[in-house]
Chains A and B, each alone.
Chain A
Amino acid sequence: MYAQLFTQSPLLVLPLVALALFGAVFFTVVVRVFARRAQTYDAAASLPLENDEARHV
């Protein structure tokens, strides 16, 4: 099946390479992110909550 696909064009390897790349990135990001404690991100997660609504007329 693959041989038949690639006879159309060797360029059709591109989607497979890209999918493999995505898999590698995704796997790494998941492992790295969830290996850290949630509290590591508390400061970043709180950024929208900072009081910045002082008034200037």
Chain B
Amino acid sequence: MSAISEAHAAPSGPPYGGKATTIVYNDQIARWFVAASVVFGIVAMLAGAGAALQLAFWPANFDHRIAFGRLRPLHTNAAIFAFVGNMIFAGIYHSTQRLLKTRVASDLLAKIHFWGWQAIIVAAAVSLPLGYTQGKEYAELEWPIDIAIAVVWVIFAVNFFWTLAKRNEKHLYVALWFYIATIVTVAVLHIVNSLAIPVSAMKSYSLFGGAQDGLVQWWYGHNAVAFFLTTPVLGIMYYYLPKAAERPVYSYRLSLIHFWALIFVYIWAGPHHLLNTALPDWAQTLGVIFSIMLWAPSWGGMLNGLLTLRGAWAKLRVDPVLKFFAAGVTFYGMATFEGPLLSIKGVSSLAHYTDWIIGHVHGGALGWNGFMAAGMFYWMVPRLYGTTLFSKKLADLHFYLGTIGILLYMGAMYVSGFTQGLMWRALNPDGTLMYPTFVETLLAVAPMYWMRLVGGLLYLVGFLVMAYNLARTARAGKAVDGTVEVYVVAEAPESHWTEVVFGRPVVFVAFIGAMLGSLAVLNDLASVFIASSAVFIAVVGAVLLQVSKVDGAPSWHRLLEGRALVFTAFTTIAVLVGGVAELIPAIIVAPAAQTNATAQQPYKPLELEGRDIYVREGCYLCHSQMIRPFRWETMRYGDVSAIGDSRYDHPFQWGSKRTGPDLAREGGKYPNLWHYKHLGDPRSVTQGSNMPPYAFLETSEVDFTKTIEKLRAMRTIGVPYTSEQIGAASENARAQANEIADDLRGAGVAVRATTEMVALIAYLQRIGRNPKPATEAVPSVAATVR
């Protein structure tokens, strides 16, 4: 590795005999990613506005390919991976080259990364409306696209670490640490959560089932927020905020603690998405504890960002870049205050499944990600085109439209969420439910759904103003690439890697950690002795480390910052510790807890086909399948869900939102005719429902030739189908379909037994109960509304 001399900023001559070299940055790649982010940001917000309209006005579900259940994943994937994804890539390529004083290692790999990522986005935009989904939130894309994501991500990683290896600046600035954590962790999350067994070219089943799938999915889902929407944007904050404020970050020391604490703690917090569910208590408790611990590093980082503006607050009035950054960081503070709050079990019991969570998420997405993106674009684009911003007034207009839009959006969702949570649990003095029909709670919040749409549209208009402003800026200038003159000297690394890996702080920490870890296997008396000794050694050791330092010698962490590979290895360990310690026990321990007498038995072939339709249509986005241990839930939905109820569910369908009622005990509640009518026209049996109609299922056919392959795939991942059951799958499916079709015919409805409508009814009648003796029929009472 070569190193740049300290004198490069004021090149009065090369010290140490260094050679002057001019570096030309590859800024074209940043320009491309900015443009892609702006375009896909508009697409994502249009999809979001469409989904918001569908919730307020059901006729907007005019085509089943873009009905809410398929449009919502398109919106979330576009917002996360297309809008924010392209934005962080723009920031990473632009800032990394400058922080390392070197051009990106390979222009070709950067191009492949860009076009590969856009191809994945297009594949998502085509496949999701066509109903190809794995049924896991924010990880819906089917297995071939998952593989493409992994390949493109590896290409990005190779190029990034190759650039690190050829850097001319020895020191790794804090922004780069966050980029490293992002690259490593997203790869791990994506690969583990996407493990699946393919059935066909665009169909697969998650390797994990039931509670394990829930834990893996939300370990992924939560950390997609953490390591895709947060850590890279924090890196961007640490680079562009000081740039825009023209002063260094408030506290570099705080950034050090912010980084290590954040990446270690964040990875554990996933189970807070599954509080009060059938997930084992120990895993829920871990989620609560680490979520509350997250308050500290999150706010440490937020304050570090805001306080960087100390002495520069006056600039906020005139500089749109700082305006967006200050507001973005403030929204980050609000969202990261609210996140741990929502992770307290009592608060979660009220907020979970309600619109409160939607409000929380959009505070982060629109406020933090959207405003940080805008600030970065307004700073970067004029410089990428060698000009000034076309209009500061338009940027100000964007800021106010966006801010008002967010406040309307969040206000609507908070009111809606509180209302839903309180109405669901409200009891009469005699102990009965005050609002026994679910749709009452939906009608109560209907005005808030319109208000949310208005807020979202205002934000979208602001974003369009930004797109116009940036386009005019680019047209007024000319694409230019930044350069820097560096004095490259052949300098040996500051330290040998062994000095870092086996440095005194590492050995010290390992020793204390081993002592504390031994507490778990020692008896009470020995534990007290070891714990006391550990505390004593920790205090004395810390003092000794401090006293023994040599004046002027670089600190251990400073040496670490000069060793990119070791730094990456330590980051990986910090991230993996949480994942391994949480997931491995869950995957190994949970199955034992699922083998009670009432645990779920495998689905019949037709029920499995129906379940695939349920997943395809995104029913889980509005209907949970998890009855929590609260009186108001058991009164409304039935017995509390147990861990064994969903052990063969690949993927799990516990859900995260209740726009409609929970379906965990839906089986047998209503006759087949009710389901037929409800699916064809939900309002025919539930006045006021906003559910999309699924009448098209009556004309679409199930391909029973593939049923055998589906059962075979399920057996591969642990569902105990016998060879006989698999061999007779198609016949058995048709036989069960004929039974349901006959039952409907008896009620005066002629429907073909081979249709998807019949398969879905079979699944709905099965949820939450095991097969009953053939003589026990579903209830014939005419249930109308609930």
Contacts and interface: CB of A to CB of B under 8 A. Distances in A.
Nearest to B535: A27
A12 to B, nearest CB: 5
Interface in B429-449: none
Interface in B384-403: 386
Interface in A43-57: 43-57
A38 B175 CA distance: 18
B482 A55 contact: yes
Contacts of B314: none
Interface in B359-380: none
Interface in B559-597: 561, 574, 577-578, 580-582, 584-585, 588-589, 592-593
Interface string B500-543: 00000100110011001101110000000000000000100010
A18 B561 contact: no
Contacts of B8: 50
A20 B746 CA distance: 65
A44 B252 contact: yes
B253 A33 contact: yes
B253 A36 contact: yes
Given A18-B578, A56-B482, A29 B516 contact: no
A36 B555 contact: yes
A38 B251 contact: yes
Contacts of A27: 538, 542
Contacts of B574: 25
B115 interface: no
B558 to A, nearest CB: 8
Nearest to A37: B253
B25 to A, nearest CB: 8
Interface string B478-512: 10111111000000000000000000010011001
Contacts of B484: 52, 54
A46 B247 CA distance: 8
B239 interface: yes
Contacts of A41: 252-253
Interface string B198-225: 0000000000000000000000000000
Interface in A2-52: 2, 5-6, 8-9, 11-18, 20-36, 38, 40-52
Interface stretch (B71-79, B255-263, B410-418, B623-631): B255-263
Given A17-B513, A24-B516, A12 B585 contact: yes
Contacts of A5: 282
A35 B264 contact: no
B99 A22 contact: no
Nearest to B508: A28
B650 interface: no
B171 interface: yes
Contact of A57 (B239, B386, B505, B584): B386
A57 to B, nearest CB: 5
A51 B9 contact: yes
B581 A15 contact: yes
User: For the complex, would chain B's binding face be called helix, strand, loop or mixed by DSSP majority?
Assistant: helix
Contacts of B243: 48-49
B581 A24 contact: no
A34 B557 CA distance: 12
Contacts of B95: 48
B249 interface: yes
Given A16-B520, A21-B577, A31-B546, A56 B253 contact: no
A42 B585 contact: no
Contact of B513 (A21, A34, A45, A54): A21
Contacts of A30: 257
A7 to B, nearest CB: 10
B248 interface: yes
B24 interface: yes
B256 A17 contact: no
Given A15-B585, A31-B546, A52-B484, A25 B260 contact: yes
B248 to A, nearest CB: 4
B260 A29 contact: yes
Given A26-B261, A55-B483, A14 B585 contact: yes
B252 A20 contact: no
A22 B573 CA distance: 11
Contacts of B482: 52-56
A17 B173 contact: no
Given A8-B592, A52-B482, A22 B520 contact: no
Contacts of B585: 9, 11-12, 14-15
Contacts of A50: 8-9
A29 B542 contact: no
A49 B481 contact: no
B248 A20 contact: no
A45 B333 CA distance: 22
A40 B556 CA distance: 13
Contacts of A22: 264-265, 577
Contacts of B517: 13, 16-17, 20-21
B513 A48 contact: no
Contact of B249 (A20, A24, A36, A45): A45
B756 interface: no
Contacts of B542: 27-28, 31-32
Nearest to B247: A49
A32 B173 contact: no
Nearest to A31: B542
A50 B242 CA distance: 11
Contact of B175 (A28, A48, A53, A57): A48
Contacts of A9: 585, 588-589, 592
Nearest to B95: A48
Given A12-B585, A15-B581, A49-B242, A24 B512 contact: yes
B550 to A, nearest CB: 13
A54 B9 CA distance: 12
Contact of B248 (A16, A29, A40, A49): A49
A48 B242 contact: yes
Given A18-B578, A44-B561, A57 B480 contact: yes
Contacts of B239: 48
A16 to B, nearest CB: 5
Contacts of B252: 38, 41-42, 44-45
B703 interface: no
Contacts of B516: 17, 20-21, 23-24
Contacts of A25: 260, 264, 509, 513, 574
Contacts of A15: 282, 286, 581-582, 585
13 contacts: A8-B589, A11-B585, A17-B520, A20-B513, A20-B516, A26-B260, A36-B555, A41-B253, A48-B99, A50-B8, A52-B483, A55-B386, A55-B483
Interface of A: 2, 5-6, 8-9, 11-18, 20-36, 38, 40-57
Given A15-B582, A55-B386, 10 more contacts: A15-B282, A17-B513, A20-B517, A22-B265, A32-B545, A32-B546, A48-B173, A50-B8, A53-B482, A56-B24
Interface of B: 6, 8-9, 24, 95, 98-99, 101, 169, 171, 173-175, 238-240, 242-243, 246-249, 251-253, 256-257, 260-261, 264-265, 280, 282, 286, 383, 386, 478, 480-485, 505, 508-509, 512-513, 516-517, 519-521, 538, 542, 545-546, 555-558, 561, 574, 577-578, 580-582, 584-585, 588-589, 592-593
Closest 6 CB pairs of A and B: A20-B516, A17-B517, A41-B252, A45-B248, A18-B581, A21-B513
